[in-house]
Amino acid sequence: MEKRYILFDLDGTLTASYEGIINAVVYSLKQFGIEPKPERFSEVIGPPLRHTFMDMYGMSKDESEQAIRFFHEYYDEKGLFENRPYDGVEDMLHTLYAHGKKLMIATAKAQTIAERVADHFGLSQYLCFIAGTNADFVAEGDGIRATKEDVIKYILESNDIKDPEKAVMVGDRAYDITSAKKFGIQTMGVLYGYGTGEELISAGADYLAKDPKDVERYIIEG
């Protein structure tokens, strides 16, 4: 079946954002006098920030919320620009757009930040929808999106996508794959991001792509 709706993760899939995110996490941890764990930095890219601070650094819910505020002190002004699109990403988006594909971002990053990143790097011109989390800014129970699953559900509902078989989720971490599969969406794991082939295969990725050209080829040729 033709893939019409293409959901892209952002960090590690469209942009190489490692430096800015890690610098912001380190800045936040320093405010608490907590020593970073460099050996686990690769695990930071992908999951929501509160998971990082609570699960990896043992913070309480209140502490994690303060840590997120510290994170944004650095990231919103500097960190989001310590970043770049992967080689070949813009060409891929341009080609898919020209083929009439509906291109979207589905990220666990805060939506407001995802929009700024896409605008800054000129990617927004190819996108019809950008969705991210809003848990840092919306009261509980008020349409909160705190996880990748929440974000994907929001995309499907907002774009009236009734047949998930016409969609594919492209991402670099297991979190992208397992979240999309809960909605019956096919998945593609990219090998140039922050996850590993083993991680993506274990999560059940339907396809693996070694570079953006590979992503483009699969989506167009099936």
Show which residues are catalytic. 9
Q: How far, in Å, are 51, 52, 107, 108, 213 from residue 179 at the CA level?
A: 15, 18, 11, 11, 24
Note the helical H segments in 99-190.
Answer: 111-120, 148-158, 174-181
Considering only CA atoms, which of 17, 52, 157, 48 is closest in space to residue 110?
48
Task: Assign 128 to helix, strand or coil.
Answer: coil
Considering only CA atoms, which of 177, 222, 187 is closest in space to residue 207?
187
